[in-house]
Structure 1
Amino acid sequence: MTHGQTRRIPFSAAIIGSLILLGLSLSFAISVGAVSVPIETVWGVFFHKTGLSSADPTWSKGRAAIVWDIRFPRAILAMMVGAGLAMVGASLQAVTRNPLADPHLLGISSGGAFGAILALLHTGMFLGLLTVPLMAFVGALMATLLVLSVSQFAAATSADRLVLAGVAVSFVIMAGANLLIFFGEPKASHTVVFWMLGGLGLAQWTHLVYPLTILVLSGAWLYLQAPRLNAMTIGDETAATLGIPVARFRLSVFVVGALITGVMVAFSGLIGFIGLMVPHVVRLLVGGDYLRVLPVSALVGGVFLLWADIAARTVMAPEDIPIGIVTGLIGGLFFIAMLRR
């Protein structure tokens, strides 16, 4: 699939439009829920808590707690997870030259979930708060290496075969994860169901520093690789003639993708299809140049997951539907539409 270099929307307009949409979506996401909060109260609480306003609060302590302690961290986590998974999906589609590549389909998310479940049910929090993200990254990395090994073993050098290898590895890893749950403490297993179905309900301010750090550092690295990613979309031979060490570069993108995915999965559970859908929508808007695709994908991914979370919280309020169900439903329909194309 070749990505036309024609610019549908000027890059600056796409960035400004995405930022405005992100700000509006964030305001709405925090204001809606079982208890609706006026948008002016949302930002009043924000300015008051961050010391940007010294005006006396006109809202109750309960409202302030809902906005600041529950909904703000949740919405910020949604933006970070959406941005991270969209950037990973876009990068994987470049290095595999497969429009269907996505951290979920390539087994990376499953590996992250396996690591998180192992930490939660079996090893205990031996590194404190860092245990789950670290184990999730290790799981995602092992899954990545396993996919690459299987594709080598099966002589599956084509990009299509790599995705098939990913799907196969994903099934095996999820079987292993289910075994971990089966042998785990039954009382603790309900927390693991959250990881399997995806959810943002456990977001806390103290935890957000980990996904934020990984997203900023890894996202910056991917953005710096944009010219190489552009070359990889044309083909390995072209990339090699431009002096890119193709195999090593592909592996490094996989490792960085595993790092982002593992850490996001650790805090949000298994959320699929964002990495598949968002980059395609973005390429239709701004063309195929990765200097444009990556930043716009990050913003659109954040907006998409915010709205998925709004749907998860409001469709059956006051119950929360696991967000993975919402993204899976939308993603599955998108996948069918992609196959039709």
Structure 2
Amino acid sequence: MTSATPQLRAPAPADPPSLPQRNMHRRTLLMCAGTAALIALLVVISGAVGAVPVTLGQATQIVLGHLIPGMPWMSDGSLTALQDQAVWQFRLPRALLAGLAGAGLALAGALMQVTVRNPLAEPYILGVSSGASVGAVLVIVLGSAAVGGISMNAAAFAGALSACLGVWALARINGTLSPTRMILAGVALGTLLSAVTSYLTISTDAQNVISVLFFLLGSVSAASWSSLAGPAIALLIAGLATGYLSRSLNALMTGDESAISLGINATRLRALLLVIASLLTGAVVSVAGGIGFVGLVIPHIARIIVGADHRRMLPVTVLAGAAFLMTADLLARTVAEPTEIPLGILTAFVGAPFFLWLMRRNGADRAGFSR
């Protein structure tokens, strides 16, 4: 019993021993500040990019003018009504929705990787995204009446939660959740739900097929101020909950035995994390469609940069996920202009090679999932 005491008191999982704790805290602060500044810059750049000509300075003026009443440039004629509408009504909500979606998917991926203690876990691997897609596609194809009159957001969340409950039921062994069985159940259930989505797609009218396919590939082109509410509320709830549970997440990463010895109910914690991840995934998929690789790659980058302690890793993951998807959306709008590339295609092109490169790095073993 005595020999196990130092192991329980050690940080879980431990930071790379070559980096002093003070430097890791400083690095975390610098990373958060730098990423937040990048997000602010991306908001301005996104406001200036589009068919209606707007300079970076004008985009900044329009955003500030709406946030701070009484700014002189909003009424002196230097800005046209068309420029104001393009930036405030279309481009800014789109940039913010991309940021919320990226932050939500990155946080959901980080939580799922802790839940199953596997670096490959993300909303798609565990079938949660597939469940959310089934709910949303049902509304697109059959109308809200087919799902009890609920909105697409609610249907997506219900689908994600149903997939979560299915994984939970299939993975239980003698009252406990098996991480390995969770992955196997998630892959099988996700494949089944993807087949349901495919059947709904081919059986609907031709006019709905393009809408469904574009939705499944991911896009924030239809963003509006009202569409920001669901992802923002889900991210706020998940952020507060995971911030409170960060020490418990560290303990869960070391194994169920260590978590239980510290008074943590591992099964209950895993179930709670699955519900939180489902809330995030459903809220994002309902407004942005299927966007992959964000929840897989971003948490790994955060662990390698600031260590695997969730008190540091989770804030970096959220901010980096937002910046990543905002950048991807900006590229999706401009790379093949006037054609827009679906976000899911662009994130796969960027995420897959980068993830393979990460696996080849010697430092990737320090990301909290070493052998």
With the length of structure 2 as denominator, give the TM-score of the two structures. 0.85
Give the conservation status (yes or no) of the 8 Å contact 1:232–1:239: yes
**Match of residue 140 from structure 1:** 160
| Offset, 1:87 | 1.0
Larger Rg: 2
Does residue 84 of structure 2 align to residue 64 of structure 1? Answer: yes
**Match of residue 222 from structure 1:** 242
| Offset, 1:2 | 5.7
Cα RMSD over matched residues? 2.5
**Match of residue 303 from structure 1:** 323
| SS of equivalent residue, structure 1 residue 188 | helix
Residue pairs, 1:184-195, within 5 angstroms: 184-195=204-215
Does residue 77 of structure 2 align to residue 80 of structure 1? Answer: no
| Offset, 1:120 | 1.7
**Match of residue 45 from structure 1:** 62
Q: Among 239, 252, 258, which residue is 1:232 paired with?
A: 252
Q: Among 316, 320, 339, which residue is 2:340 paired with?
A: 320
**Match of residue 285 from structure 1:** 305
Comparing 167-176 and 28-37, the one that deviates more: 28-37
**Match of residue 186 from structure 2:** 166
Q: Name the structure, 1 or 2, with higher relative contact order (CA <8 Å, separation 6+).
A: 1
Unaligned runs of 5+ in 2: 1-11, 362-371
| Offset, 1:126 | 8.3
- Cα 1:160–1:2 change in 2 (3 A) is farther
Q: Distance in 1 between matches of 2:341 and 2:126?
A: 25
Give the conservation status (yes or no) of the 8 Å contact 1:103–1:109: yes
**Match of residue 13 from structure 1:** 30
Q: Distance in 1 between matches of 2:179 and 2:155?
A: 28
Give the conservation status (yes or no) of the 8 Å contact 2:170–2:181: no
**Match of residue 203 from structure 2:** 183
- Cα 1:134–1:327 change in 2 (3 A) is same
Give the conservation status (yes or no) of the 8 Å contact 1:84–1:219: no
Q: Distance in 1 between matches of 2:359 and 2:161?
A: 29
Q: Distance in 1 between matches of 2:47 and 2:186?
A: 36
- Cα 1:161–1:329 change in 2 (3 A) is farther
| Offset, 1:181 | 1.8
Q: Distance in 2 between matches of 1:133 and 1:125?
A: 14
**Match of residue 278 from structure 2:** 258
With the length of structure 1 as denominator, give the TM-score of the two structures. 0.92
- Cα 1:128–1:16 change in 2 (3 A) is farther
Unaligned runs of 5+ in 1: none
| Offset, 1:33 | 3.2
Comparing 22-31 and 286-295, the one that deviates more: 22-31
Q: Among 15, 29, 41, which residue is 1:4 paired with?
A: 15
| Offset, 1:68 | 1.0
- Cα 1:104–1:36 change in 2 (3 A) is farther
Does residue 43 of structure 2 align to residue 29 of structure 1? Answer: no
User: Percent identity, aligned pairs only?
Assistant: 35
Instruction: Give the number of aligned pairs.
Output: 340
Q: Distance in 1 between matches of 2:176 and 2:268?
A: 17
| SS of equivalent residue, structure 1 residue 202 | coil
- Cα 1:212–1:248 change in 2 (3 A) is same
Q: Distance in 2 between matches of 1:91 and 1:114?
A: 22
- Cα 1:121–1:163 change in 2 (3 A) is same
